[in-house]
Structure 1
Amino acid sequence: MKPLSIIKLLICVIAAFVLFSCAQYTPVTEHYEKITFDEFISRLKAIREIKGTADISMQAKDVYMSGMASMKLSPNEYEVKLFALGIPVGEFRERNGVFYSRPKLKPEEEQLISLCIKNGIFWWMNNVNNVTTDSKYLKIKQPRQQMVLDRESLMPIEQFIFLSQGSTLHIAYGDVKWLSGIWYPNRITATLGSYKFTINTEDVKFEKY
């Protein structure tokens, strides 16, 4: 093998290692109930709707949007309304697979928001059967998605979504609290290229079946 080919191969190996390595491991200090993985998924699937308020921001090279928001989220549809000083300044929602935004967003921005909410918040609605574990993490793998949980506590850590155009959406979970018998991340950050979409939850309530 030529030296240049060897260098290219090493670069690919290193890039893959960086991409699929989990964030730096931090032991869970939050108090939680010790339950099985199946029980945890069962509790999550009992959630019919999530309502609350949040500080939402989206940034890219040529756009920055932020404000307080009211949220009404479910696996099949959602509605988020943005306010500034109590005045409505924008909204985005999705129903029956159709995305609507005001002001109008670019397709990549719409995709970022849709994936962050549907796949980032309601990650358990997809296939959760292909599960592997190591000394620290539990990984739920699908052809185009990988969810990473803490092995002992089942606390969500991060998620990778592999898009058809070859890019990868990374979703990081922060300020995760044990709430109503489940883990809920109060901060969700989705990053896709130069775009970043962040949800910082102020208050949240679950409606269950």
Structure 2
Amino acid sequence: MGKNQSVQQEADELIQKFLKGNTNPGLGSKNLFENVSYLRGKNGARVFYRMNDNKMEILGKSSKANEQTVINVLRELYGKGAKKVGGTNMKINNIIYPTSLSQLTNTKDDNIDIFVELDDGFTYTLVVCTTKNLETLMEKEGLDYLPAMPPMVIVKELTEENISKALGTYLENNAYWLKLYYLAGEFDSETLQNTLLKNKSDYE
């Protein structure tokens, strides 16, 4: 989980809600492969688990930053290898879907994690959400607004074509927006404040 205490706290809260009977807390629970699933928090916490004799067995935790690393380890330990889906363009080498789109019950009302491999050698974790699911998330929390959280890529329906087209708009200026979305929630308050102060001094 690293040094991000807010992500660690969110992971603990996801587990507690799950144990109290909420099997779909935060952004929801997704099946990863076979009997391994994971809980996803709005601020980037991920809790990987499986059920044994109706008891939750926690297999690992991560933030968005090291999500794919943890999943790769879990696949080696418990799975049969990663399934990759997606195409390429000028900068995207691959789009990996930890949860296959074919597993989704309603592709117009859901959200998923994706891993985007760019030709810079890095892999970026993003959340893709549908417009309808934004309403569902608010209704789930009993709110008339969406609470602050790291940004998500928004599409009307979760299809490979829609996701690929949406990501294409994030690649300009050396994939500035894709990288910003990936890093959102990873900066601590001190880093943000120092950046703001530097920008302020540059304009004075």
TM-score by length of 2: 0.29
Higher Cα radius of gyration: 1
Higher strand share: 1
Higher helix share: 2
